[in-house]
Structure 1
Amino acid sequence: MIFSTRILSAAGGLFFLTIMLSSIATMAFVYDSIWKMIFALAITLGLSWMIIRWMVSRLSRKMFLAVSLSLGFALRLAWIIWNPAPPESDFLFMYNAAVEAAAGNFSFSDTPYYISFPYQFGFTMYEAAIIRLFGNHLIILKLLNVLLSVGTSVILYGLASRVFNESCGRITALAYLFYLPNIIMCSVLTNQHLSVFLFLLGCFLLLREKNAIVYWLIAGLAIGLGHLMRPIGTVYLAGIALFVLLVLWQQWRGSLKRLAAMTAGKLSGLILVYYLVQLLASTALISSGVTQHSLFEGEKYWKFMVGLNAETNGSWNMEDANYANQYAFGDERHQAELVKIKERLEDKPELAALMARKLVLMWGSTDSSPFWSLQGLNQWELEKTLQQWERPMYVLMCAFGVFSMIALWRTPGKRNEALLFMILIMLYIGAHLLIENQPRYRLDFVPVLILLQSYGVYHVFRWVRDKRPVASVERGRSIGG
């Protein structure tokens, strides 16, 4: 796995460096002053130093979890109480449909939105179940977002502690709990809170008990349910498959053929459970009369057609929407979209330039969470202030990501489980080079970025403490140890 780790750490280092530089550029635009930008970075770094030193080095494990989770929960709760923003855009479509579904009315299933995007049924039915149980109260749905967000930080703590060490687990949890977009998006009825929780839970179960097939099956269930909430489970499935194939290759070469056969069987079980979840959910929705359309139907090429539009840098646009709407849904529209895709793939230089722009815009632009969270409230000054607070946090995360990739390059055989998350982030980056681009979509994989950058934070702070190169032999489990 040494060769694979070095290839991926080199690619990861280039990625983190690229988005760090582009994020600095956008940060300079947001602040309108280089000196203000430098001051903001210095303040953020100083506060991070103090928080990490105290919470990672001085607190017991139980005390750390109690303090960090309480603060993270309190901040999120305060935000959703203060911010009464109603759902907008796709979130409004799904919320209104959920209200109807909770009342037993499923006529929305025949609307163009759900015919084109039947994968939205999963999250809609989740919201409908909550409304049926607790009544039609937005605050309940937002409170569940808070609980899921805090729960995700606990999973990240466990993952980073296993992949790297206890200190990295604490750094990851802290970064996720206090990264501003993760807080303010709790007031948005997005499917990302639940899906991220389920996807990372699947990864945690897989790595926690690699020798127990039942955990692999439960991991397949979690990832399958996550895909029902948000259709990016195939990225996780592909990432896990590639990671396990590397493990299988190592086992086979090491004459551990029986162990390799067992590992292959567990991977097959995980994939089987994942697809069974999709099939059973689709069958249940049809047989119960919720919809006549399979979850496997819907737009096949829309996201790709939009994502390859060089004039709009791969973002949603009315021109493509009007073009697609000329054709009846089904094979006619699919073929029309496919024609556009083939046209846009012909100009190879323009395609390469488009992908470079999309990489920078997707991962280096200002975060869109203030816009989504404050829609309809006319809080333009607050939106700008939140962007100014978020930028230095993200720039520092990218910088520590570079250090993390350097550390993994220099010790490629020590952190094999980090390979899973390096593969996952590369796959997700690659997917969005082809499909529709929105900065909001990076929140799906910000937890993975945070997990990977924690190793860079750990090494940099150890270097500052010890005042010698980070390649020295690791001592202790905490930054202060």
Structure 2
Amino acid sequence: METGRYGWGERQLSRLLAVCGFALFGWMLAYAYQNTANFFESAGTIVLLGIVALAVSVLLAFVLGRYAGRAVSLTVIVLLAAGLRLLWVLNADTPPVSDFLDMHEAALSAAAGDFSFGTNEYFTRWTYQIGFALYEALVIKLFGPSLLVLQSFQILFQLGTLLVIYGMAVRAFGETSAKGAALLYALYVPNILMCSVLTNQHISVFFYVLGLFVVMRRRFSGKTDWLLAGLCFGLANLMRPLGSFFLVGFIVYAVLFLLVPGIRERRWPALAAKCVGLLAVYWLVQQAAGAALVQTGVTPYPLESREPYWKFVVGLNPATNGGWSYDDTVLVQQVPIGEERNRLELELVKERLADKRQVAALLVSKAKTMWGGDDSAPMWSMPDQDRPELRGKLIRSERIEYVLLAFLGLVAATLIAVRGASAEASLLVLLLLGYAALHLVIEVQTRYRYDIFPCVFILAGFGLSVLAGGFRRKPPDVSTSEPVS
């Protein structure tokens, strides 16, 4: 990267974030390798397969970067991604289970005109799940109740996410890195397996990354960027309630990389107005959707968590290593939902924070599981299936891919720490670090990595392009961005 390309403050901030990113990717690599050893006979096998995976990835990235243009590369990667996902969906028997079953049954009822599910125990406790249930109901109403139809839409949303990841990577690191990021996303085993699982993550991730792309593409200088990004974040939150996290990440990014530099150029009032506009649009989407569902009698409650402390209760439970707890569920359900349950859950949180040594040990253990553990996609996509050989192959494939991603992320973080990077690249590192910090204190599942892994794929794609010799010494020019008005 040309050191003159970025402002001094931007470059130094990117390097500081990259040092923290280096620590996270190093942690991921160390504990992923440790976990991977449980599924292979020897360490030598892991190293050999890792080297083979790296060599194949570098070769593919080199060929795409050197001999294929954007249109050809995207066509090949999209067809590859679609083919793998469709093949899995057609051959996997994945009935909805757990929360996915509750939402699917509600969708079937809604498609038939029965909205009474909105007052049952599940949806009065987790009202924010109604948005995804109604999305499924719309698909069922239009195309019929076949699971294959819903799964096909999930494939389409993943393909959309792939294209957005490509666009974000171009903006952050250039064309060659974008091809690498898209390729890694297309081949990642958990993404393929989860296409058959009726989870709200597919559609929410698409809209969250689309909102990030709008923010990144012209450094939030477009006249309608605030509106489009606010709508994207708002729609995504109706599917999966991570909007607060992405909004906080956006605000930190805007302050550090947009508003503070804008003070010198006297652009900060316009930028601040656009930031407020984005937050207002997001809030209006939530309020309008909630009011509509209350007015139509679908639910008597707004679309938000009615148990704000629950994720912290289970996240700080040492008995389950910060995972879901049956005992906690039974305990809190002994009191009615509302203020009384909130008080009980807050007391549980305070009790679990009292032993500082135990808390510290728990946080370390959770971080090992969250960022080093094997992905739970085989469990969700193959529930109650007696196919141990296939399950074992899928787990081992995911483990090698994960180690590869962590290594490539480490390469990317190293180069950014040395040379600095753009604000767009720093946004990705900032979000990844924030997500890791958040899951130190709330519930962990390896499935939750899915929501932030677009950032990992983009950073790993940059690392891959470096190793493939396709690193562009001159980063993409952003000087042509529209002026703030």
TM above 0.5, yes or no, is yes
Q: Of residues 353, 367, 377 in structure 1, which corresponds to 2:375?
A: 367
Q: CA deviation at 1:84?
A: 2.4
Q: Which residue of 1 aligns with 2:103?
A: 94
Q: Of residues 255, 258, 271 in structure 2, which corresponds to 1:245?
A: 255
Q: Of residues 463, 467, 482 in structure 2, which corresponds to 1:456?
A: 463
C-alpha distance 78-24 of structure 1, shift in aligned 2 (>3 A): same
Residue 438 of structure 2 is aligned to residue 428 of structure 1 = no
Residue 181 of structure 2 is aligned to residue 172 of structure 1 = yes
Where in structure 2 are the equivalents of 1:164-243 lying within 5 Å? 164-209=173-218, 210-243=220-253
Q: Of residues 303, 307, 311 in structure 2, which corresponds to 1:295?
A: 303
Q: Is the 8 A contact 2:85 2:155 kept in 1?
A: yes
Q: Which amino acid aligns with 1:81?
A: L
Q: Of residues 318, 335, 338 in structure 2, which corresponds to 1:330?
A: 338
Residue 350 of structure 2 is aligned to residue 342 of structure 1 = yes
Q: Which amino acid aligns with 1:276?
A: L
Q: Is the 8 A contact 1:408 1:415 kept in 2?
A: no
Residue 309 of structure 2 is aligned to residue 316 of structure 1 = no
Q: CA deviation at 1:349?
A: 1.6
Q: Which amino acid aligns with 1:474?
A: R
Q: Is the 8 A contact 2:174 2:475 kept in 1?
A: no
Which TM-score applies when normalising by structure 1? 0.94
Q: CA deviation at 1:252?
A: 4.4
Q: Which whole-Å CA distance do the structure 1 matches of 2:474 and 2:242 have between them?
A: 39
Partner SS state of residue 187, structure 1 = coil
Q: Which residue of 2 aligns with 1:113?
A: 122
C-alpha distance 265-131 of structure 1, shift in aligned 2 (>3 A): same
Q: Which whole-Å CA distance do the structure 1 matches of 2:97 and 2:74 have between them?
A: 34
Q: Which whole-Å CA distance do the structure 2 matches of 1:475 and 1:448 have between them?
A: 22
Residue 84 of structure 2 is aligned to residue 75 of structure 1 = yes
Q: Which whole-Å CA distance do the structure 2 matches of 1:67 and 1:453 have between them?
A: 20
Q: Of residues 60, 75, 85 in structure 2, which corresponds to 1:66?
A: 75
Q: CA deviation at 1:421?
A: 1.2
Q: Which whole-Å CA distance do the structure 2 matches of 1:293 and 1:244 have between them?
A: 33
For residues 406-451 of structure 1, give each alpha carbon's deviation from its aligned partner in whole angstroms, at most 9, with x where no partner exists: 1111122x42211111111111111111111111111111111111
Q: Which amino acid aligns with 2:247?
A: L
Q: Which whole-Å CA distance do the structure 2 matches of 1:163 and 1:45 have between them?
A: 23
Where in structure 2 are the equivalents of 1:137-176 lying within 5 Å? 137-176=146-185
Which TM-score applies when normalising by structure 2? 0.93
Q: Which whole-Å CA distance do the structure 2 matches of 1:90 and 1:40 have between them?
A: 36
Q: Which residue of 2 aligns with 1:15?
A: 24
Q: Which whole-Å CA distance do the structure 2 matches of 1:61 and 1:404 have between them?
A: 22
Q: Which whole-Å CA distance do the structure 2 matches of 1:443 and 1:300 have between them?
A: 22
Q: Which residue of 2 aligns with 1:381?
A: 389
C-alpha distance 297-350 of structure 1, shift in aligned 2 (>3 A): closer
Aligned residues, how many?
Answer: 466
Q: Which whole-Å CA distance do the structure 1 matches of 2:121 and 2:91 have between them?
A: 35
Q: Is the 8 A contact 1:365 1:439 kept in 2?
A: yes
Give me the CA root mean square deviation: 1.5
Query: Which structure 1 residue ranges, 5 or more long, are not aligned?
Result: none
Q: Which amino acid aligns with 2:235?
A: L
Q: Which amino acid aligns with 1:145?
A: Q
Residue 396 of structure 2 is aligned to residue 397 of structure 1 = no
Q: Which amino acid aligns with 2:450?
A: L
Q: Which residue of 1 aligns with 2:364?
A: 356
Q: Is the 8 A contact 2:96 2:104 kept in 1?
A: yes
Q: Which residue of 2 aligns with 1:474?
A: 473
Q: Which whole-Å CA distance do the structure 2 matches of 1:252 and 1:366 have between them?
A: 43
Q: Is the 8 A contact 1:313 1:357 kept in 2?
A: yes
Aligned residues with identical type, % of pairs: 37
For residues 337-395 of structure 1, give each alpha carbon's deviation from its aligned partner in whole angstroms, at most 9, with x where no partner exists: 11100001111121111111111101110111111111132222211110111111110
C-alpha distance 206-248 of structure 1, shift in aligned 2 (>3 A): closer
Q: Which whole-Å CA distance do the structure 2 matches of 1:476 and 1:336 have between them?
A: 53
Partner SS state of residue 434, structure 1 = coil
